[in-house]
Structure 1
Amino acid sequence: MTDAKENPTGPRSAEETQDRDPELRRQWNELAARVREHREAYYNGEPRIPDADFDALFRQLQELEEQHPELAVPDSPTMEVGAPAPEESSFANVEHLVRMLSLDNVFSDDELAQWLERTPAEAYLAELKIDGVSIDLVYENGELVRAATRGDGSVGEDITVNARAIESIPQKLTGDAPALLEVRGEVFIRPEDFSKINAKRPEDKKFANPRNTAAGGLRQKKVADVKARKLRFIAHGIGAREGIELESQYDAYAHLAELGLPVSEYTQRLTDPAQVRETVRYWGQHRHDAVHEMDGVVIKVDSLAQQRGLGATSRAPRWAIAYKYPPEEVTTTLEDIQVSVGRTGRATPYAVLKPVFVSGSTVSMATLHNQSEVKRKGVRIGDTVVIRKAGEIIPEVLGPVVEKRDGTEREFVFPRECPSCATVLAPQKEGDADWRCPNTRSCPAQLSARLEYLAGRGAFDIEALGEKAARELTEKQVLIDEGGLFTLTEDDLLKTVIFTKKDKASDQRVLNASGEKLLTNLREAKHTDLWRVLVALSIRHVGPTAARALAARYGSMRALIDAPVEHLAATDGVGSTIAESFKNWFATDWHAGIVDAWAEAGVTMEDDVSDRLEQTLEGITVVVTGTLEGFTRDEAKEAILARGGKASGSVSKKTDYVVVGENAGSKEQKARDLGLKILNEAEFETLLAGGQV
């Protein structure tokens, strides 16, 4: 949330301002009321608009006060911190020993440069801005005696009992604890924990996001419910203190760590403003690499003496600033809801949006998952909706902004028939949330999606067969299923537009460069690994990992087809669900016909053991983190898998090696904490060659 600047003109009464310009005062009153309403909702864990929308609203109020200084009265929202505890709160109020302040924000490199220029320092700290909930802890002689929410900065809610349920908040400090220590920090939920929590909840009771869930977790009435939220804590500041001498913020964090308090592993001490700006740019490109959600970087003057000299405004320190990245949540208009059909027949509603810029790109579509999700979220066509885009993930509609409805919105009606082939849609089995088109072979949407999938890098890697080409081959009925793919001829492609051009001399259509390339790609794609062929078949649940395991164990398509389901299930990494799906797929005649047609066309149906790399990593689990010079992330994973190893995305006690490149994050620290073997890139290459280092 955006914080404000102090009033440059001194206090004035609301009555005095109103007498001068009633219309101006009316405009200010309206803006101030909206800011207070949304800020209170945010700090109490029930935001109604995205942060970006609040930031814009707040800035509008700031700009109005800058243009008309007489409006910046002492009770303006631009002078306040946080929000008072709700009147219906069951928690007692408690006063902080030292007032908790907020932060001013900047949103561009130029604004950050201006702040650095007017705030020179020998050293700065760059800290990730955790998207969580602020908390204040008080320790007396090393014992936790109180925990409170931020509240309005002066008074918060006493949540000591709930704070004691958070494992990362120590009940007793280690080492030489001071007589008094007030610690500020952030409570949050890791994205991976949030996914696990939501997976256990009914569709109509899933949480919206980790930040809101953490805020609600601190206010639970039962300790067991607090623990169920998997809350974590990181310290990022000190308030009142007795019996402790510190010279810098960096020293403070080191001392907090010695006392057993968790501090951020990402904090950097920088001596050059250029380094500060570069760090901000780096995290803008890696904002999803951290163990917690973050929406910016906080820059602080390191020297505590200089911090005291710079002081603070009515609600924000002058020695710190928060650089906020482009929003991942924004509002826009939901112009329509349409339904797409994927390669497995799943009918998925998606939102057609008024184009909006979010998280670095313009989006015009977002997923709505299934018809139950549309109902749960309560969105209507014509609504103003909140959308979220995290990294490269497809944007998602979070919900409507109900207060903006004007009565013209209409309910979405899920279609009874497939929008591609008009077959009646139905759940595959009782209780399924997803509805599917059962016309698996002939549905144009499904065939087109399967063609695009099998052409991907994880399967046949056919560069010339993209989404548009797959759609045209299907629509023009050049292909009736995948079986005819590898016997496509020039005459077949001449029926298309995308693979042809008009020959000026003969006035006839001839193959263009894309058509020639497709035929070349198809000839080359026949000679591949068996596991890639298995992936290309679009067998439900059989992805690259299971395909590799099956191909490695059986070596040929014939051996796989003949294997009993219980034998397939016993394959490491497969199990009964995948094994049954595999056998059921081959029980369909036209599925088996695809394999026969590919085999007749010369597609690999048996691995050539002579070309197989030595399985130097068989039984070994490797995690790669950070940036390597000689490998992309996918190349490193492929190198591990090709040698029989397991390429894991998370560090655990079962991990054998952790390969660490530049800008490695929390995985490196966790590996060190667990005492695991850590390799640099050169050692990784040695491991690949010999299976040990």
Structure 2
Amino acid sequence: MSDDAADPPADNPYLDEPPTDFDPVEALTEADAAVQAERLREAIRYHDHRYYVENDPAIDDRAYDALFSRLRDLEEKFDVRTEDSPTRRVGGAPRDELPDVEHVAPMRSIDQGGEAEAVREFDRRVRQGLESADWAGELEYYCEPKFDGLSVEVVYEDGVFQRAATRGDGQAGDDVTENVRTIPSVPQRLRGDHPDFLAVRGEVYMPKPAFQEYNRELVERGDDPFANPRNAAAGTLRQLDPSVTAERPLSVFFFDTLAGTEFDTRWEMHETLPEWGLRVCEKTDLKPDIEAAIDYRDARLDERDDLDYEIDGVVISVDDTDACEELGATSRAPRWAFAYKFPARSEHTTVRDVVVQVGRTGRLTPVALMDPVEVGGVTVSRASLHNPAEIERLGVGIGDEVRVRRAGDVIPEVAEVTDADGDGHFAFPETCPVCASPVERDGPMAFCSGGLGCRAQRERSVQHYASRKGLDIEGVGEERVQQLLDAGLVADVADLYELTVEDLTDLEGWGARSAENLIAELDEAREPPLADFLTAIGIPEVGETVAASLARYFGTFDAVRAAGEDDLQAVEDVGPTVAAEIRDFFDSEANRDVLDRLLAHVDPREAETETGDALDGLTFVFTGSLDGYTRGDAQDLVERAGGSATSSVSSNTDFLVLGSNPGQTKRDDAAEHGVETLDGVEAFESKLREYGVEVGA
């Protein structure tokens, strides 16, 4: 039971018209500070509930900010912060990666369709299934908006927020605990008579007004805006630095319980979650039959543009949970729920210009610049034309009226020309608009042949080289790269290593410390792992997985560079197309020049190529987070010794390795199949040593 009851906290001075003229922090004793901090935490939780759950704030924003600031000052001065303090929402320490975490229960997807007849067919299946099961209850449908955000699992123990994970593949997702902690509408502590353990499913989203304001700020800074609120929410939630997430306006609706409690009906769940402080959607409703549920969907379609959040349909579920149990689920989706999708939105506008963007790999993408038009509540002024073949298919030209839609209800694209007022379709350029190199066609797509001799490709290649997916060189972001290119200090990645502190401090915005830090970062990147280097140099079709396979197979950069297409195709994950891309990259004269100069400064470390056979015939499965290992590191260790690492437990599995926060499903499967479990890193490494694999110190 939580101390935080559903009623207002008793004898708390910070509820109605709270005083904000506090005595100086220095004037308090530690005991007085601890008492005041606890009352402030209690009051802030109460005000959060009134604001986010009840939509009925008790105080104005200025008073709330004063209470929050006072609490933060007390906690910093007297070290009285608690694990569930509201001030933890401001963000924690950055992380190197987002480890996987297994869900306490599967997060299944939902069958869906966009036609009323598909919904009626769903109703027929439900009724037939319940009739076969001799279920005699009253069939009603629980109807809720289908939110267009990012689904998460949130876990509470003893009423206190413990962890959060994205949906991922439904069995495991990214650990986004510290990021979700920063979302104001996610309570750090539950209210009322809550279960001792509770796992709930919610949808994280960026409210539309906040999204448009945030995009405006991005454009004013010269950054690319997000295409839609869902992308903004997903990108924010997967930030490695929680303080970045804390600065962005996210919110959440909770809509399902995964473990820890049971309800007789979903409507009972809907009414109970707010009592525990969990925000639900006020548009949720209970309908007596499928036709009323269809009417509910049509009403949400009519009002979708007026909502503060994006929805792309509604979810219709059987309300009675016993009936849901009888209907069961397939391996992918429950049989008791159906998503009735909205049609893709589309509007008409006029194309004013077509620009051709040059990507890192030289791919040319035409983009239509249009009179701004509202498409599903989002102002769209540019839309992708994808490639030259699509322009020819559409016959689109400057001055034409076109119908714009959001493909998959997300990415703006030109669907068709509705009034060809222009002078014929846009003529795709025969030379690169940046470097004037000849444009080469590959099927429907077009590429600049200039390679790293093209400024656009150089700029993006430098950004990619220094990015987290490359060598993770801090201080070489998009704005810095543009500044270095404009100043003539950097033309390609090789020039990064010739920068000096004096070069940088002559530029606007650079001080001695930031310049020294960048030079130090570059020095640390002079002997990168081979796989990281292969990813960083931007070979088309070579991401982290293919780069790791190439490194393991060839061992050295020189061997990769000299390999023919037949040799390359002998590598796992490399087929004919990828092999040809790799060979073309290394055969390019412009690329060869840059690489030769780059290798004068960088010496990629040789990779281990030998694979042992100590674990031959053995299969390992991992669940939870392993201290000292990423999931990829652990799997790679097993595979190097001749074993196999798979994602699911079966009768062929030999060992299940349990990390922290292990998933129950894999443990249950291991018990069912008699699979030996290894509890923790020490047990894992001990087992490897039994088979002669050298690990650890």
TM-score category (smaller protein):
0.3 to 0.5
TM-score by length of 1: 0.47
**TM-score, normalised by the number of residues in structure 2:** 0.47
Q: Higher relative contact order at CA 8 Å, sep ≥6: structure 1 or structure 2?
A: 2
